Chain A
Amino acid sequence: MLRPTELAPVPGAQEMLVNLGPQHPATHGVLKVVLGIDGERVTRAVPHIGFLHRNHEKIEESRTYHQVIPYLDRMDYVSGLQNELPFCLAVEELAGIEVPERAKYIRTALFELNRIISHLVWIGTYMLDLGAITPFLYAFRDRELALDIVERTTGGRMLPNYYTFGGVRRDINPRFWQELTDFVDYFEGVLPEYEALTVDAPVFQARTVGIGVLPPELAVNHGISGPMLRASGVAHDLRKDQPYDAYPWLDFEVITRSEGDCWARSKLRCQEFYQSIELIRQCVKKAPRTGPYLGKGRLKIEAGRQRYRAVEASRGQLGVYLYSDGGPGPYRSKHRSPSFTNLQALPDLFVGQRFSDVIAILGSMDIVLGEVDR
């Protein structure tokens, strides 16, 4: 399944090279895609990344395990807490640290809340790319309400630095579960409006139905995960397949759609809103109100231990490959980010499409350059 070299000119076509430059009005971050356009069709798409590369992995090699966690927030800066979880899980599993039940529920509730936060950014910016200016503001306004909860609990909106090995770093405020319930009740009431403005809107459907179809075999072979994969019909969700935290005790189903086009991905993410709301409600109901928020255990990993642990972040499978040499910090921590791997499908999705659909496809892939480049 080798693709022909992207840099070689496509024979027979008279193409014009156009830069979808590192600075977009469509706010995905700094991504450069060199497009070759022949008339209306795209003949070549070569993505160039690395504009936001900050070399996290090298820095983390000279930090202790606790010092690594703030660096992780900077990867996917849209959903801060989700980045910390795979690293914490990997270290907990290697060092044998127990996580108490209450801490698991707190982590899961905040994880799902961050999924809502991240999908709200996606929906706002995607509609902005397509020309509708109002859902952007509605999404960010509702996101403020969720970020208030995150901020009261963790201290930070964008870079929370809250999960730690064995649980969470500090206790939640007494109104945490009530605040979650309030937000979730409110948000469920406005979700039909979001859907009416976006996935059910005829103009949106005209722009996205049938565009950028991703075949499931290609998706699986390319390691694509998250809503992109599930919208192509593959029911792979790490919350079900390799559960962590409180997910074994929560009752939910994996959402899939079969069409695989941009509309299916958008609809899936809207359905994930509902799913996250349901999961947060279950967490609120089942979480013990008393108990420790931090488990006990020595953070000592023997030399030579390694572990790849992944979680289902809002963009896909976010994983950490951790190799330890017995020292106070990781010897090598490689972050497998979903956007990096999903972006590999970009040439397959762009080539052959109309030039005007490029923006629609790119928005439906939901990439954040912070975690692509690290």
Chain B
Amino acid sequence: MVPRDRPALRSIPIPKDRRYQPRRVGYSALKRFTARELLSYSLLFFALAALLVTIYSLLPWLIKQVPAFAVGGELSGWGQVVYGVLAAMLGFTVVAVAALILILMLRKYLALVQNRYGPLHYGPAGAFQTVADAIKLLVKEDFTPGKADRLIFTLAPLMVFVSALLLLTVIPFAPGWVLADTSVGLIIIIAAGTIGAYGVLLAGWSSENKFGLLGGLRATAQLISYEIPLALSLLTVAVWVGSLNLSAIVEAQRLWWTALPLFISLLVYLIASLAEIKMVPFDLPEAESELVAGFNTEYSGMRFGFFFVAEFGELFLLPAIAVTLFFGGYHQPLAGWWDFADVLRGWGGFGEFLANLYGLFWFLLKTALLSWLIMWLRATLPRFRDDQLMELCWKALIPLSLVGLVVAVVLRLVFK
């Protein structure tokens, strides 16, 4: 219900004098324009993701082509090392691309809600805006505050960034497309979040700035507190499914998604993940209009870029985890009854790849919808005060997550 707006644009990017054009009553052409752009960005995202996972899936085959790395049709020791390094770089690329597109989609989505255009200049309809921002951050002067502890000042953003990357390694994008198919994937997720909290604390402390320290302490308190409902809600899934392996959890949701019996835990997880990403309404640590500018006061240039990319990487990854654990991962809805992926697999070798792409499509669609939900909250809500934040965590979410755990145990005893 935003005001009826100007007539449609004929050419991008900047319309001519808007002042004396008559207002047209009806649907806003501005919003149609921006919605079109959002759709095209989503398609771009899927195309890029498809490209990356295609490379990923071809990676073992590619490495086996080099005779030194292949021993009898399997990867040798060195081959596995190379595979690991290349896969990790691929993972980093995935996170970076995801963050890049999500930043752009956030800005465009906010613009859509706020009846404005968003980034328009760089690239077709502003698609390269994030690249321009990254270049800007790279060419900034790299300095460390005089009295700061240089080693920790440099390490802190890296810790936050690496913790975001760690989350990537255990998420199954498609059947068999996991970077590290460990049997304790869920524990890795919880642990990665903890490393991130430590990085934030060190960032605030090493800034030698009392405002930064205050912000860092507040942020750390928030992150550590919200780890508990996060972990508890994740563990309820493990209780219900009976395994900590994420691929097994996804496979167990072939027919019914975990969200149906465990909706309490889903709710707790969604709210706790908002706090972990430090997104509105929990973005007090990095809020600019509060007095204290936050733990990343003293960081500029690419150091700040690490925090930024980590935050938006988590904006992709935490909903991805939610999708994996609660919404069936890469399965289409009601895959237990009729799955189009099985149809695709029936076509032979290439069909396997197509079935995986189909699964990837569903995975990304669900993740995008959850990310959109978070962006929607960002556009709408004001932020909580920090004591209200803490109150919400300790007095509401933790009891609720314990209730969810009990529900999971009871349901498992009843149904299995």
* Chains A and B share a contact (CB less than 8 Å): yes
**Which B residues are in CB contact (< 8 Å) with A285?**
none
> Which of the residues A131, A138, A141, A358 comes within 8 Å of B291, measured between beta carbons?
A358
Chain A, residue nearest B3 (CB): A141
The docked-state distance in angstroms from the alpha carbon of A201 to that of B281 is: 12
Q: A356 contacts B381, CB within 8 Å? A: no
> Which of the residues B110, B210, B280 comes within 8 Å of A131, measured between beta carbons?
B280
**Which B residues are in CB contact (< 8 Å) with A207?**
382, 384-385, 388
Q: How many residues of B contact A (CB 8 A)?
A: 29
Q: A354 contacts B291, CB within 8 Å? A: no
Chain B 239-268 residues near chain A, CB threshold 8 A:
none
The docked-state distance in angstroms from the alpha carbon of A131 to that of B210 is: 23
Among the interface residues B110, B280, B384, B385, which one has the most CB atoms of the partner chain A within 10 A?
A: B385
The docked-state distance in angstroms from the alpha carbon of A138 to that of B115 is: 8
A75: min CB distance to chain B, Å: 25
Among the interface residues B1, B290, B386, which one has the most CB atoms of the partner chain A within 10 A?
A: B290
- Name B's interface SS: loop
The docked-state distance in angstroms from the alpha carbon of A25 to that of B291 is: 9
**Which A residues are in CB contact (< 8 Å) with B284?**
356
A5-13, A94-102, A122-130, A247-255 - the one binding chain B: A122-130
Q: B387 contacts A203, CB within 8 Å? A: no
A211: min CB distance to chain B, Å: 9
Q: B383 contacts A203, CB within 8 Å? A: yes
Q: B385 contacts A357, CB within 8 Å? A: yes
The docked-state distance in angstroms from the alpha carbon of A134 to that of B289 is: 15
Judged by a CB distance under 8 angstroms, whether B283 is at the interface is yes
A205: min CB distance to chain B, Å: 10
> Which of the residues B289, B378, B387 comes within 8 Å of A25, measured between beta carbons?
B289
Chain B, residue nearest A26 (CB): B289
Judged by a CB distance under 8 angstroms, whether A359 is at the interface is yes
The docked-state distance in angstroms from the alpha carbon of A190 to that of B382 is: 20
The docked-state distance in angstroms from the alpha carbon of A201 to that of B383 is: 11
A29: min CB distance to chain B, Å: 14
The 8 A CB mask of B277-311 against A (1 = contact, 0 = none) is: 00011011001111100000000000000000000
Judged by a CB distance under 8 angstroms, whether A206 is at the interface is yes
A153: min CB distance to chain B, Å: 15
Judged by a CB distance under 8 angstroms, whether B380 is at the interface is yes
Q: A134 contacts B113, CB within 8 Å? A: yes
Judged by a CB distance under 8 angstroms, whether B183 is at the interface is no
Chain A 186-231 residues near chain B, CB threshold 8 A:
186, 189-190, 193, 197, 201, 203-204, 206-207
**Which B residues are in CB contact (< 8 Å) with A127?**
382
Q: How large is the interface on A (under 10, 10 to 19, 20 to 34, 35 or more residues)?
A: 35 or more
Judged by a CB distance under 8 angstroms, whether B114 is at the interface is yes
Judged by a CB distance under 8 angstroms, whether A18 is at the interface is yes
The docked-state distance in angstroms from the alpha carbon of A239 to that of B125 is: 51
> Which of the residues A132, A142, A186 comes within 8 Å of B381, measured between beta carbons?
A132
Judged by a CB distance under 8 angstroms, whether A303 is at the interface is no
Judged by a CB distance under 8 angstroms, whether B59 is at the interface is no
A16-B382 contact in complex given A26-B289, A129-B289, A190-B3, C-beta closer than 8 Å: no
Chain B 90-143 residues near chain A, CB threshold 8 A:
110, 113-116
Chain B 347-390 residues near chain A, CB threshold 8 A:
378-388
Chain B 37-82 residues near chain A, CB threshold 8 A:
none
**Which A residues are in CB contact (< 8 Å) with B288?**
25
Judged by a CB distance under 8 angstroms, whether A133 is at the interface is yes
**Which A residues are in CB contact (< 8 Å) with B280?**
131-132
> Which of the residues B2, B110, B290, B378 comes within 8 Å of A356, measured between beta carbons?
B290
Chain A, residue nearest B391 (CB): A206
List 6 tightest A-B contacts by C-beta distance, closest first. Answer: A131-B383, A137-B114, A130-B382, A132-B382, A131-B382, A356-B385
14 CB contacts below 8 A, A to B, read A16-B210, A20-B291, A24-B289, A25-B289, A132-B380, A132-B381, A134-B113, A137-B116, A138-B2, A141-B2, A203-B281, A207-B388, A356-B386, A358-B291
List chain B positions with a Cβ less than 8 A from chain A: 1-3, 110, 113-116, 210, 280-281, 283-284, 287-291, 378-388
